[in-house]
Structure 1
Amino acid sequence: MNVSTFIAKRYLFSKKSRNIINVISLISFFGILLSAASLIIILSAFNGIQYYVEDMYGRHAADLYIDPVNGKKITADHNVFTFLSTNEKIETFHKQIKETALLKFNNQWETAKIIGVDSALFHTQNWEGDMTQGIAALYFKKIPSILLGYGLQYKLQVETNHNFMTEISLYAISNNKKLSIQNKSLLKKHNLILNGVYSINPDFDESTAIIAYQTANAFFNYNNGASSILVYTKNNNEVNKLKDEINAKFPTVLTSTHEEKNKLIYAANDAEKWMVMAVLILVLLLSSFTITSAITMLIIDKKKDIFTLTSLGCQKNTIRAIFFKEGLFISLLGSFTGLILGIIICLLQMKFEFIKLNDAALDYWPIRIKISDLLLLLIILSSVGFLSSYIPGRLLMKRIVN
């Protein structure tokens, strides 16, 4: 241990001649501690929310989505289907139909987005985990069925304790004339058995109903075409390369990833996280001024010691290093203690879920700790501690020693 480190440690734990210096040092320590703990707790909370939102919107997501550039349909004879069938990077692909139609239950009408899902794909996805009532099936004894979102069920006033053996009527316009409930001759109708109710995310639940692709294909006259194609790759690292390849080969379709399809949601989550982090870093910077104040007052308090050390032959750099390390010790001790405290609180929340959310999709506040966040916070806290310790040691010491 060199001289500057030894003296800095003695100054850190020894009683100062002026009690106010002890008070300011403690304020500095606890200010950095609380800032560090707040940073890791709030970042982990945002990570938890982000993970939950991504899970909600990406639970049944494909690697790639292929949509028509013009119009709303990719015809069955499009060359992209041949490409997808023969490409070795692709595990599987499935057609999907999306149309807006009317749903009727008793005397209640509602506009809904109807999604025709390939039965083969539907059975590979864990829809059972999303069902709040009924069963996850697109057919009832070979009769076409329908699944309603939780919000859509409420709008249609389907009883919560319904036995799901009733019919939901599906209406769509049969020609290009204006849709009108009063003019029912313009509508074609198909009765579907209600099999169950699901809950994935509020937006999806409020407006969407699921039926089999084969049912949608016949009802909406798609002639084996698709509104979009869902592509699943063998290797996730090939997704972007495959996307660019499809877009280059087939200019009449647009290929995008799940993140690109929902970029507004992901961008909003990231923006909120970094805005909150910026505010907390500002609070951290304000807290670091107390370190600068504490070191400044300590230098003034130890002026006699400085002259004594100078007389004994200590170099200016050694004396500067004493007070620089003193500030650095306060900062690093507060930072590491705060991070440890924050991690403990996060782990307790993950284990016991003591912070509850009322009237929300989740019963508790989700937490997710990321190593990358910890490393980033260590860099930020160390940088702030370095600057707040360096400034008084450099500027004030220059005046005193000279």
Structure 2
Amino acid sequence: MKVNIAIRIAVRYLFAKKSQNIINVISWISVTGVLVGAMGLLVVLSVFNGLHGLIGSLYGSFDPDLKIEAVRGKVFQTDSIDYASLVSMDGVAHITGVVEDHTLFRFGQRQVPGQIMGVDDAFNKVSGIDSIIVEGAFRLRNKDIYEGTIGFALADQLSLRLNFVTPLMLYTPERTKRINPARPDQAFKTSYIQPSGIFMVNQLEYDANYALIHIDKAREILDYPASTVSWLGVKVANPSDVESVKKSISELLGEPYRVRNREEQHETFFKMMAVERLMAYIILSFILLIAIFNVIGTLSMLIFEKRQSISTLRSMGAQRQLIHRIFLIEGWIISLAGAAAGLLLGAALVWLQQTYGLIRFQGGGNFIVEAYPVLLRWQDVVTVFLTVSITGFVAAWYPVRVIVRRYYAELQNK
């Protein structure tokens, strides 16, 4: 009952006509400050969401949903795991085997170090490799000729073109032989492939390093038996089931094997993005806190404006706690009004950017996307609203408590 009375009186005080017009102006300035802070915080968090989603989609065109690796060693044998149960597991759509290692690429007179990735025929079902082919086709073998798909930056460094008949030479260290210091060239196995396509992930760690070849050719070059893989890639049937499928695979394979999702495959990068997002949230929250502290000045003037009303309420039997609650709610309403307006305006700006791409990159189409990527999540809306609510309450509580107690004491001494 007392809370309802306090709310009604607080709302009446806030919107009633003031004797000094400057108080109304300052009140609106306080609301506007909170509005701008809440809007800015929501927009910045949405930008980080957009960047996170954009980078994730780039990695998703090459990486599998889940990657199975041995905890120890570079390779393992598919015979050493329950492969049949893994293939038939609920939620698993496709599985691909991959063998990768370092090599030296040579095309004409140019030499570039990189990595060969031997993949099987299911690789295009597990990854989105077909969607990132910019020239030629993803083809690993044509009759008896082994072919390969090369990263865009790697092909550029080698001056490689698909219309050339010259093969791409591979110089790979002999895994089972010792290096003779007198003839180090004998420690390399020489082989070749015919380039069939060029892919572009728009990530240099892939585009400048990898060449995809058939897994049989990779095993031949590296002298591995037929069941050897560096890792297994898993395509999950339903993207929302990735974590549950990951847990099931981990339980099936046990501790000798590690199962990682896409974010864990690039743990350092995504952790760095999470830290940057957190720092942006903290910095903008401090700016928002400064804006909320304007409420203190507004409340001081409002309490001064209503000092006669405080006397009237006291004479009617109102306790100090009720008067304290009235002005505390009044200050909180100012913060919540600014938060609500800021969230609505921020959500509208994010929607406009998503729909129409109002803010675009300058550079004439040299970027992956034309407009700044943004993504609005309801968790961010809740986070910003709670941030404003809590800080607004704390900012109003102490000054209201001190000022009301002083006025109340003055009235008692009269």
Task: Tell me the TM-score normalized by structure 1.
Answer: 0.88
Q: Check 1:86–1:364 CA distance in 2 against 1; reply closer, same or farther (3 A cut).
A: closer
Is the Cα contact below 8 Å between 1:164 and 1:196 reproduced in 2? no
The alpha-carbon deviation at position 123 of structure 1 amounts to 4.7
SS of structure 1 residue aligned to 2:118: strand
The reply to whether residue 351 of structure 1 matches residue 355 of structure 2 is yes
Using the TM superposition, name which of 302-311 and 342-351 deviates more.
302-311
The alpha-carbon deviation at position 185 of structure 1 amounts to 4.2
Is the Cα contact below 8 Å between 1:243 and 1:256 reproduced in 2? no
Find the counterpart in structure 2 of residue 242 from structure 1.
249
Is the Cα contact below 8 Å between 1:64 and 1:243 reproduced in 2? no
The reply to whether residue 394 of structure 1 matches residue 401 of structure 2 is yes
Find the counterpart in structure 2 of residue 316 from structure 1.
320
Is the Cα contact below 8 Å between 2:94 and 2:126 reproduced in 1? no
The reply to whether residue 205 of structure 1 matches residue 187 of structure 2 is no
Find the counterpart in structure 2 of residue 193 from structure 1.
194
The reply to whether residue 261 of structure 1 matches residue 251 of structure 2 is no
Find the counterpart in structure 1 of residue 163 from structure 2.
163
Distance in 1, matches of 2:405 and 2:78, equals 80
The alpha-carbon deviation at position 152 of structure 1 amounts to 0.9
2:376 maps to amino acid: I
Find the counterpart in structure 2 of residue 327 from structure 1.
331
The alpha-carbon deviation at position 172 of structure 1 amounts to 1.2
Distance in 1, matches of 2:216 and 2:185, equals 25
Q: Which runs of no fewer than 5 residues in structure 1 stay unpaired?
A: none
Is the Cα contact below 8 Å between 1:30 and 1:334 reproduced in 2? yes
SS of structure 2 residue aligned to 1:155: helix
Find the counterpart in structure 2 of residue 96 from structure 1.
98
The alpha-carbon deviation at position 126 of structure 1 amounts to 3.1
Which of residues 301, 307, 316 in structure 2 aligns to 1:303?
307
| Aligned pairs, number | 396
Which of residues 228, 232, 241 in structure 2 aligns to 1:229?
232
Q: Check 1:325–1:88 CA distance in 2 against 1; reply closer, same or farther (3 A cut).
A: closer
Distance in 2, matches of 1:246 and 1:123, equals 23
Find the counterpart in structure 2 of residue 273 from structure 1.
277
The alpha-carbon deviation at position 21 of structure 1 amounts to 2.8
The alpha-carbon deviation at position 330 of structure 1 amounts to 1.3
Is the Cα contact below 8 Å between 2:69 and 2:230 reproduced in 1? yes
Find the counterpart in structure 1 of residue 132 from structure 2.
130
Q: Check 1:70–1:320 CA distance in 2 against 1; reply closer, same or farther (3 A cut).
A: closer
Find the counterpart in structure 2 of residue 368 from structure 1.
375
The alpha-carbon deviation at position 54 of structure 1 amounts to 1.8
The alpha-carbon deviation at position 75 of structure 1 amounts to 3.5
Is the Cα contact below 8 Å between 1:152 and 1:208 reproduced in 2? yes
The alpha-carbon deviation at position 79 of structure 1 amounts to 4.3
The alpha-carbon deviation at position 3 of structure 1 amounts to 4.8
The alpha-carbon deviation at position 106 of structure 1 amounts to 1.4
Q: Check 1:63–1:240 CA distance in 2 against 1; reply closer, same or farther (3 A cut).
A: farther
The alpha-carbon deviation at position 102 of structure 1 amounts to 1.0
Distance in 2, matches of 1:254 and 1:365, equals 36
Is the Cα contact below 8 Å between 2:124 and 2:130 reproduced in 1? no
Q: Check 1:104–1:126 CA distance in 2 against 1; reply closer, same or farther (3 A cut).
A: same
How big is the alpha-carbon RMSD for the aligned residues of Structure 1 and Structure 2?
Answer: 2.8
Q: Which runs of no fewer than 5 residues in structure 2 stay unpaired?
A: 410-414
Q: Check 1:205–1:314 CA distance in 2 against 1; reply closer, same or farther (3 A cut).
A: same
What does the per-residue CA deviation read over 1:235-258, in whole Å, with 9 as the maximum and x for residues that have no partner?
53132243144124xx3x444444
The alpha-carbon deviation at position 178 of structure 1 amounts to 4.9
1:228 maps to amino acid: W
Find the counterpart in structure 1 of residue 412 from structure 2.
none
SS of structure 1 residue aligned to 2:293: helix
The alpha-carbon deviation at position 101 of structure 1 amounts to 0.5
Is the Cα contact below 8 Å between 1:138 and 1:212 reproduced in 2? yes
Find the counterpart in structure 2 of residue 144 from structure 1.
146
The alpha-carbon deviation at position 19 of structure 1 amounts to 4.5
What does the per-residue CA deviation read over 1:277-322, in whole Å, with 9 as the maximum and x for residues that have no partner?
0111111111111001110122123212221332344443333333
Is the Cα contact below 8 Å between 2:71 and 2:258 reproduced in 1? yes
The reply to whether residue 216 of structure 1 matches residue 218 of structure 2 is yes
The alpha-carbon deviation at position 196 of structure 1 amounts to 1.6
2:105 maps to amino acid: L
What does the per-residue CA deviation read over 1:184-237, in whole Å, with 9 as the maximum and x for residues that have no partner?
444322221211211112221121111111221222221111112224466531
What does the per-residue CA deviation read over 1:121-164, in whole Å, with 9 as the maximum and x for residues that have no partner?
325543221112222222345521111112112211235xx536
2:278 maps to amino acid: W
The alpha-carbon deviation at position 179 of structure 1 amounts to 10
The alpha-carbon deviation at position 20 of structure 1 amounts to 4.2
SS of structure 2 residue aligned to 1:41: helix
Is the Cα contact below 8 Å between 1:349 and 1:367 reproduced in 2? yes
What does the per-residue CA deviation read over 1:10-50, in whole Å, with 9 as the maximum and x for residues that have no partner?
43234433454334322211110011001110001001111
Using the TM superposition, name which of 105-114 and 222-231 deviates more.
222-231
Distance in 1, matches of 2:327 and 2:125, equals 67
1:380 maps to amino acid: T
1:62 maps to amino acid: P
Distance in 2, matches of 1:87 and 1:113, equals 31
Find the counterpart in structure 1 of residue 392 from structure 2.
385
Find the counterpart in structure 2 of residue 72 from structure 1.
74
